[in-house]
Structure 1
Amino acid sequence: MGANGVNQLDENSPKQLPLTTAGKLDKIVEHDAAAAAAAAATTTARDQATDFESAIDAAGFGLFNVLLLLVAVPAAMASVYETSTMSYILPSAECDLKLSLLDKGILNAITYAGMISSAIFWGYIADTQGRRKLLIYGYLADTICVLGGALSQNVVQLMVFKYLGGMIMSGPFAVLMTYLTELHGRQYRQRVMMSIGIMFSMATLSLPGLAMGILPQTWHIRIWGLSLHSWQLFVAITAVPSLLSCLLFPFLPESPKFLMSKGRNAEAMEAFRFMYALNTRQSRDAYPIKQLANELPERGTKDVAGVEQLAETKPIGSLRAGLRQMRPLFTKPYLGLSLWVYLLNFCVLLGQNTMRLWLPQLFASINEYEQLMGSVVDEANANASTSICDIIEYSVNRTETQLQSTLGECKVNISASSYTNNFIVAAAGLVAYMLAGVLVNLVGFKRIMTMGLFTAGSCAMGMYWSNSSISTVALASIFVTMGSISSTSVISASLNIFPTALRTMIVSLGMMVGRMGSLVGNVVFPALMGLGCVPPFLMVSFFMFFACLLASFLPLKNKAVLK
């Protein structure tokens, strides 16, 4: 061929090509064709790999989802009971534990102190070890803590067990939200979150029902050197939901979204098939998806959150690994957004949980005040005798008198009617959540959140001018309902605007900051009660209005794809 080879031939004259050269070119063409076919096959396989949203949609909605929500009912009840039982026993345990106003505030707040101290730990465990395992062992540990609190013989022991219970419950509470979100498609996700709100309302409704039947009793039992009263039995019964939860969650699968994010697609596929079989009554092999997309980046690459990913999943690691998991939340592009969510949580939960946890004490004081003052049936006189400011003044003076008594005479005037108003407030919340579940897909979380916070702030301010028990109950019902819906919406917003790698962590940190607000509010509220009628309501109202302003600028879209 020499210097004049194939390149010098006219491309239109193939007959001039030597035989040996033509054979070589045939082999090259065959090789290129094979390579092209392999590349096309790879591309086709890649295109056939299904992402999470399509896979969860293919699993359908049916029996599995119904069973999932039924299992979530006792789990939600356990979360509410852990944070709310103290507010119900304060009036009846006042003499047994010799409680001051500050003691009552601390008992209401101590659970949140425990939650704050463990939030980072649980967030790391859930995002590295999975949702299901944490739910099982978390609720088991909470059962033990609640029973320990029921056997407490003094206020210090009770505070210790409530603190430990808060430490434990911080994990399951945040993970329950994430778990339910990741087991539903976009079409049902927002309604499911509102369903959780209904579960919380049902739990809140059941508490005054239990209190009406148990707390007015004058039981005094001595067994194994322990002195047990009706309020301790009430606390012990609230351990049942946690026990049921730890027994039921083993029958449910791990979150397939979590499994895919860790590269465990085979396990995720089994979870999808299990869901599909229950929902459609068909065999698992009939599940139409055959291959899942690889959501685990190669070693050294970064995910959408900016976290460097490793190909392998490690066991529970060191503090350094936990801090690395948090790092994206304190750097761009998530720093500003995460701080916004933290502040919003702080304001909402400060107002919501302060008012919610002091209402049982306030209503018990109203009932006792009306009995002692001999309120008449005439509405005008009844209105005059139940001014909210008179009630607060009476409650503060009565507690101080009980503590200063040197004769050892301490009486509590608790009857079933003391908790009737709490039942009304909880029932109103349940009805409102059902309506919100219908409206959420129409107006979205953001509008519901902002309107709810504004309404709650207005009601808190309006309670100052309340001059009857009826108006007080009405305003309290609206406040608790709107505040509860708004707090649930804040969590839902956090789940939708952050990626999977950060989802449980942002909820845990957001709730941690929110619980700081609950802690501050419940300790400051009784101090403000001692100063007068205006300050406690003014504080709650201010934080709810400020939260409304923050929520109105939150970048949130309806039916967003889970990142």
Structure 2
Amino acid sequence: YEEAVEKAFGLFHWLLLVVCGWANASDAVEILCVSFLLPTARCDLLLSSSDKGLLTASIFLMMVGGYMWGYLADQRGRREVLVLSLAVNGVFGGLASTAPWFWLFLLLRFISGIVGGSIPVIFSYFSEFMPRLRRGAMISALATFWMAGNILAALAWLVIPSTWAHFSLGMLDFQSWRLFVVLCSVPSLTSALLFKLLMPESPKFLMEGLVPVKRMFTGSLKSRSIALLMVFYCLSFYYGLWMWFPELLQRLEHGGSPCANVSLPSPLHNQSCYPVETAVFKESFIIAASNLPGNILTILIMDWTGGKVLLCSLLVSSLSVFLIYVVQTKAQSLVFSCVFSGVSVISWNALDVVGTELYPTQLSSALGFFTGVGRVAAITGNVVFGKLVETNCAVPILLASALLLTGGLVACLLPQTRQSELT
């Protein structure tokens, strides 16, 4: 199998990269769209800070979907699972745009998250087509599409401030942020269609048997599983900070630091959200675009250094988060936020490569399990930020910094997997 894959690299693999990459981008769009609509939707849905924390956490219930779809992918095949999960995720994500009340919007996002979460399967599926000597760079290139989705979501400033997108739909006041929610469901739906029409089943899945999930915590896999579990949790907690970036940047418009004691307009008065302040969206776009250098770097050097070495960038991420807390001006905060964004993406790309290479490819549910652990951390981070952002936002920011530091140190315990053969 390895010999055949080594000799078969060509145009198909670049098409595979685009299709799988677009699906990966859909994950970023689905996750991040909520953070960009909060400054406006908080008025129409009458959201408190705790409500915002629950809403941003809801999409991370992909934790359940991640393991479920990984298990089904090991049983039924990668392609079938990807088509179904992406389609359902897009449908419920789009339906959320019509919800007139917060609890219904939350429920639909909850279903979208719990039914979605097929991204670990994408990485397993993709890696099974890749030759050993190119796999690190190609998986890094696949991970780069998450940045593309991040940038697409950040283009909210082209949609949400628009007045032309405001109309009445029966009893529903269809504001521009609702149109943005609809647009954010398009990548998932089109990804499902592309997999259905263009992509074959993984040949490695078709030729090999099944591996029980419990094998992750037995024998030689046990120590690496524990270490990887800790790294996923520590790195994923930062989603709490990432999802609240637009909110923190908005606070900088009114005070001297992200944690300044600022009284923002009450969400109970619709007029306070309009006209929409576009500066926050543009700054979020800049932060998203700052992923590019880190993505390029990982593509160029991943096959040379291996993923374990690049996971050490978690230490720099920890420092940059700490500096976000201590800065006193908006410009300084934006600079360190960009540094954090650019460095953390190196860690994520390295983790995607390491997580794929550490386990037998039949065990795609392993990566789904660890991604699920990461979603637990993301939910925790979002809920903690939602509860403390008004009273003591220093606690979750400093906690995120400490966990990134811990993750970087634990990553040193993982084995080197550079250019190893898939088993």
Superposition TM-score tier, normalisation by shorter sequence = over 0.9
The residue number in structure 2 matching 1:72 is 20
Residue 182 of structure 1 pairs with residue 128 of structure 2: yes
Distance in 1, Cα, partners of 2:7 & 2:348: 31
The residue number in structure 2 matching 1:315 is none
Q: Percent identity?
A: 27
Which residue, 205, 213, 229 being the options, matches 2:175? 229
Which residue, 527, 546, 559 being the options, matches 2:387? 527
Residue 53 of structure 1 pairs with residue 2 of structure 2: yes
Distance in 1, Cα, partners of 2:351 & 2:294: 17
Cα gap change, 1:468/1:527 in structure 2, threshold over 3 Å: closer, same or farther? same
Distance in 2, Cα, partners of 1:526 & 1:226: 27
Shift of 1:533: 4.7
Partner-residue secondary structure (3-state), 1:122: helix
Look up the equivalent residue of 1:253 and give its one-letter code.
P
CA contact (8 A) 1:111 1:165 kept: yes
Look up the equivalent residue of 1:453 and give its one-letter code.
L
Which residue, 334, 351, 361 being the options, matches 2:247? 361
Look up the equivalent residue of 1:236 and give its one-letter code.
V
Distance in 2, Cα, partners of 1:533 & 1:72: 37
The residue number in structure 2 matching 1:430 is 292
Distance in 1, Cα, partners of 2:297 & 2:109: 34
The residue number in structure 2 matching 1:270 is none
Residue 127 of structure 1 pairs with residue 127 of structure 2: no
Partner-residue secondary structure (3-state), 1:174: helix
Residue 165 of structure 1 pairs with residue 112 of structure 2: yes
Distance in 2, Cα, partners of 1:460 & 1:220: 37
Shift of 1:470: 1.4
CA contact (8 A) 2:140 2:353 kept: no
CA contact (8 A) 2:40 2:273 kept: no
Where in structure 2 are the equivalents of 1:143-154 lying within 5 Å? Answer: 143-154=90-101
Q: Give the TM-score taking structure 2 as reference length.
A: 0.95
The residue number in structure 2 matching 1:253 is 200
Residue 508 of structure 1 pairs with residue 394 of structure 2: no
Where in structure 2 are the equivalents of 1:461-500 lying within 5 Å? Answer: 461-500=322-361
Distance in 2, Cα, partners of 1:259 & 1:411: 53
Shift of 1:491: 2.8
CA contact (8 A) 2:53 2:387 kept: no
The residue number in structure 2 matching 1:13 is none
1:6-65, Cα deviation, whole Å (9 max, x unpaired): xxxxxxxxxxxxxxxxxxxxxxxxxxxxxxxxxxxxxxxxxxxxxx11010121x22111
CA contact (8 A) 1:345 1:487 kept: no
Distance in 2, Cα, partners of 1:212 & 1:150: 17
CA contact (8 A) 1:454 1:545 kept: yes
CA contact (8 A) 2:31 2:60 kept: yes
Look up the equivalent residue of 2:159 and give its one-letter code.
I
Which residue, 247, 252, 257 being the options, matches 1:387? 257
Which residue, 305, 330, 335 being the options, matches 1:443? 305
CA contact (8 A) 1:202 1:430 kept: no
Distance in 2, Cα, partners of 1:402 & 1:127: 46
Paired residues, what number? 421
Cα gap change, 1:458/1:514 in structure 2, threshold over 3 Å: closer, same or farther? same
1:76-126, Cα deviation, whole Å (9 max, x unpaired): 22111121111000001111001100111111101112x123333212100
CA contact (8 A) 2:154 2:281 kept: yes
Higher relative contact order (CA 8 A, sep 6+): 2
CA contact (8 A) 1:363 1:419 kept: no
CA contact (8 A) 2:314 2:347 kept: yes
Partner-residue secondary structure (3-state), 2:167: strand
Shift of 1:409: 6.0
CA contact (8 A) 2:357 2:422 kept: yes
Distance in 2, Cα, partners of 1:555 & 1:73: 27
Residue 350 of structure 1 pairs with residue 233 of structure 2: no
Residue 558 of structure 1 pairs with residue 418 of structure 2: yes
CA contact (8 A) 2:294 2:345 kept: no
Look up the equivalent residue of 2:203 and give its one-letter code.
P
CA contact (8 A) 1:348 1:544 kept: yes
Partner-residue secondary structure (3-state), 2:173: strand
The residue number in structure 2 matching 1:39 is none
Look up the equivalent residue of 1:558 and give its one-letter code.
R
1:461-502, Cα deviation, whole Å (9 max, x unpaired): 111221211111111111122223212322321211111232
The residue number in structure 2 matching 1:155 is 102
Look up the equivalent residue of 1:414 and give its one-letter code.
V
The residue number in structure 1 matching 2:221 is 334
Residue 214 of structure 1 pairs with residue 145 of structure 2: no
The residue number in structure 1 matching 2:31 is 83
Distance in 2, Cα, partners of 1:240 & 1:74: 11
- Which ranges in structure 1 are unaligned for 5 or more consecutive residues? 1-51, 263-302, 308-324, 370-384
Q: Give the TM-score taking structure 1 as reference length.
A: 0.72
CA contact (8 A) 1:194 1:488 kept: yes
1:260-302, Cα deviation, whole Å (9 max, x unpaired): 214xxxxxxxxxxxxxxxxxxxxxxxxxxxxxxxxxxxxxxxx
Cα gap change, 1:223/1:387 in structure 2, threshold over 3 Å: closer, same or farther? closer
Look up the equivalent residue of 2:87 and give its one-letter code.
L
